[in-house]
Amino acid sequence: MSPTVALDGMGGDRAPAEPVRGALEAAEAGVHVILTGDSQALRRELDAQGHGGGKLIEIVEAPDVIKSDEEGARAVRAKPASSLVVACRLLAEGRARAVVSAGNTGAMMAAATLHLRRIPGVIRPGIAVVVPSARGPVTLIDVGANADTRPEYLPQFALMGRIMAADVLGIPEPRVGLLSIGEEAGKGSELVQAAFAAMDGTPGFVGNVEGRDIPKGLVDVVVTDGFTGNVALKLYEGAGEMLFSEIRGTFERSLRGRAAGLLARPLLRELRHRFNEETTGGAFLLGVRGLVVIAHGNSNGRGIANAIRLAARGVGEGMLEAVEAGLAVPVDA
């Protein structure tokens, strides 16, 4: 049985058109989607995109919208009837098994912490994302939930990232590296040196890795603070975009290039697909009591649909339960 996923119908730069497109694509693949937002606007968009009224898409009214530049925590308190908050509440109330939004990341974190709460024992939630490498997908955590990180967060990020790599990507016994600026144990900032010590005994931990080891795919999970992780993620995406764009430009500038481009285009498109955030669709917010997927703000319908599928896969694989089992402490601890 396919799970029900709540989708923030007004989240992202291209809402509601692209969330609706994504919902339709996911519904065709059998996922039950609840769209939140201005129900008239959503209905209109569904009609415009030729939705025949199938049972797999439902709408829940949410008149407010949180914009991408609003301060997250404040916006969540001020707008309880926003599409993002209502989607989170559907999950908290058990009407959905996962929530997806391409909207304000800070608001999503605030809404998830407020309405779903942290898993007992989790110090701080972390955002995990899947990036490509020469040897297959690499899970990078934290990519921005915490701008400032304490050493003791990192072993928990490692555990959560490892469960995600195992359950969502199907990697048996994922290997975990701590992002640093030298391979030896003593290398790195004070934070990383303390984190290295704190990581002692963490399952799968193999030691420090460097920036170049992410594209190399030296380990399956790379653990880092949210500042470095966010810089790394955006740089990695940007490097790929820049390079493909430069290659396209090179191919356009000469007759030889145009001939090469004609032959190479489908091959490069396939390769680029791997480098595109839309192939994974989104990031998991891990450490809260519910499956939360944050999609790119500029996601198109395909990206949203991938994010929904990612959420559905997480539900199907029992990822939340695995994280809870791996990290939960007894209530009286």
257 scored as a contact of a second copy (CB under 8 A): yes
What is each CA distance from 248 to 79, 83, 229, 258, 273, in whole angstroms?
44, 39, 29, 9, 15
Where does this chain touch a second copy (CB under 8 A) — which range of 11-19, 47-55, 175-183, 276-284?
A: 175-183
Q: Does 187 bind a second copy (CB under 8 A)?
A: yes
Six-digit token pair at 117?
A: 């709460």
CA distance 308 to 99: 8
What is d(CA 270, CA 244) in angstroms, rounded to the nearest whole number? Answer: 12
For a second copy, the closer of residues 274 and 302 by Cβ is: 274
What is the x/- site pattern for a second copy, positions 271-310, by CB under 8 A?
A: x--xx-----------------------------------
Whole-number Å distance between alpha carbons of 164 and 115: 22
CA neighbor of 154 nearest in space, from 126, 182, 174: 126
Query: Considering CB under 8 A, how many residues would be counted as binding a second copy?
Result: 58
Binding mask 22-61 for a second copy (x = CB under 8 A): ----------------------------------------
Residue 234 as a binder of a second copy (CB under 8 A): the answer is yes
- Exactly one of 203, 216, 279, 317 binds a second copy (CB under 8 A); that residue is 216
As measured in angstroms, the least distance from the Cβ of 243 to a second copy is 5
| 133 is a contact residue toward a second copy (CB under 8 A) | yes
Amino acid symbol at 33: V
Secondary element (H or E) of residue 299: none
Asked if residues 16 and 43 have their Cβ atoms less than 8 Å apart, the reply is no
Least distance from C-beta 147 to a second copy, angstroms? 5
DSSP annotation of 2 reads P
Do 26 and 309 contact (CB within 8 A), yes or no? Answer: yes
Interface residue with a second copy among 197, 239, 325, 329 (CB under 8 A) is 239
Task: Let me know the angle formed at the C-alpha of 312 by 141 and 19, rounded to the nearest 5 degrees.
Answer: 90
286 bridge partner residues: 126
The one among 58, 237, 317, 324 contacting a second copy by CB under 8 A: 237
Binding residues for a second copy, rule: CB under 8 A, are 133-134, 144, 147-148, 179-181, 187-190, 192, 210-216, 224, 226-228, 230-243, 245-247, 250-251, 254, 256-257, 259-261, 263-264, 266-268, 270-271, 274-275
